[in-house]
Amino acid sequence: MNPRTQAVFAAARADSRAALIGYLPAGFPTIEASIALIDEMLAGGVDLVEVGLPYSDPLMDGAAIQDAVQIALSEGTTTDDVLSVVESIALEDEQAAVVMSYWNPIERFGLERFVDRMVAAGGSGVITPDLTPEEAGPWMAATDNAGIDRTFLVAPSSTDARIETVARACTGFVYAASTMGVTGARDQVSTAAPALVARVRDRTQVPIGVGLGVSSGDQAAGIAAYADGVIVGSAFVRRILDADDLGAARASVRAFAEELAEGVRRPVDRIPAAAN
């Protein structure tokens, strides 16, 4: 595991809580604004940032993230820009940052080139939602050599054999999608999530993060009782889309991060977290 990723989960485990993981696309609404908004997320209590790489065909994302990605693309955001945002977070702010990207942009940029740039930017890892371990041989070799974490996804529909395969391939954390379908804030997180996490935990010591649907501190608290990480994306994006200006967006993002951070810190009878 990359040392920065490891430090995030170790610190959360020492506090008997889950890590708070926040997502935002780079370049939304501009490069400079996305950095400022991520700074607010971190100041509000986010432990690990997922920097989204905008892609023109985000099939797994819901309406809010699709709208944000289109804004970022209309601003001309490139993969180089995304890595510059990572550098701002990881090297200048000394915070853990991972990239969330569909596979096509990484492949077009060049696998080795992308990994080299991630290392230079101080990035901790990469989440590839549409890449399967069976198709990721060169990617796994390159990330192993560079010390960059890999994160793949499992879902409630995943078989035990599938979970075993994915868990073995993950070196950062396992991303447990709590629902079937696209991303988006929901009034309730799927009741399938605890069982999915339990199935994953039986097969790996790698931390497990739960995402898709978290929209409140109460939901974050509920997930924190059984997961190592609580992942929030669409709800952050929605607050920015609904804000009148950047100042209002920054205030809204900061307040929401504080609400979520309070949620993951509530005293609960936690299921033991991963040791790595």
Residue 181 has a pLDDT of 44
Residue 30 has a pLDDT of 98
Instruction: Find, among 124, 149, 140, the residue nearest to 49 by Cα.
Output: 124
Report the percentage of the chain scoring pLDDT > 70. 93
Residue 182 has a pLDDT of 43
Residue 227 has a pLDDT of 96
Is 50 exceeded by the pLDDT of residue 217? yes
In sequence order, which residues have a C-beta less than 8 Å from that of residue 125 and are 6 or more positions away? 2, 5, 98, 99, 143, 148, 149, 150, 151, 171, 172
Distance CA 82, CA 123 (A): 11
Residue 183 has a pLDDT of 46
Instruction: Find, among 134, 114, 131, the residue nearest to 123 by Cα.
Output: 114
Query: What is the tens place of the pLDDT at every residue in 41-72?
Result: 999 999 999 999 999 987 778 899 999 999 99
Asked if 222 and 189 count as a contact pair (C-beta separation under 8 A), the reply is yes
| Angle between helix 217-224 and 246-264 (nearest 10) | 30
Is 90 exceeded by the pLDDT of residue 216? yes
Is 90 exceeded by the pLDDT of residue 268? no
Tokens (6 digits) for 15: 């506090």
For residues 187 and 30, the model is more confident at: 30
Residue 60 has a pLDDT of 79
Query: What is the tens place of the pLDDT at every residue in 93-121?
Result: 899 999 999 999 999 999 999 999 999 99
CB-neighbour burial class of residue 94 (10 A; exposed 0-12, middle 13-18, buried 19+): exposed
Is 70 exceeded by the pLDDT of residue 270? no
Is 90 exceeded by the pLDDT of residue 228? yes
When the candidates are 3.20.20.140, 3.50.90.10, 3.40.50.920, 3.20.20.70, the CATH number that belongs to 3-264 is 3.20.20.70
Asked if 253 and 182 count as a contact pair (C-beta separation under 8 A), the reply is no
Is 90 exceeded by the pLDDT of residue 189? no
135 catalytically annotated: no
Residue 178 has a pLDDT of 78
Q: Give the range among 75-84, 143-152, 264-273 with minimum mean pLDDT.
A: 264-273
For residues 243 and 275, the model is more confident at: 243
Residue 274 has a pLDDT of 55
Confidence class of residue 186 from pLDDT cuts 50, 70 and 90? Answer: very low
Confidence class of residue 184 from pLDDT cuts 50, 70 and 90? Answer: very low
**Catalytic residue (one of 50, 75, 87, 149):** 50
Please report which residue ranges of the chain form alpha helices under DSSP H.
Answer: 3-14, 31-44, 63-74, 79-87, 103-109, 111-121, 137-146, 160-169, 193-201, 217-224, 234-242, 246-264
Helix (H, G, I), strand (E, B) or coil at 99: strand
CB-neighbour burial class of residue 76 (10 A; exposed 0-12, middle 13-18, buried 19+): exposed
Distance CA 151, CA 127 (A): 5
Angle in degrees, CA 136, 140, 143, rounded to 5: 135
Query: What is the tens place of the pLDDT at every residue in 135-168?
Result: 999 999 999 999 999 999 999 999 999 999 999 9
Residue 64 has a pLDDT of 93
**Catalytic residue (one of 39, 40, 61, 75):** 61
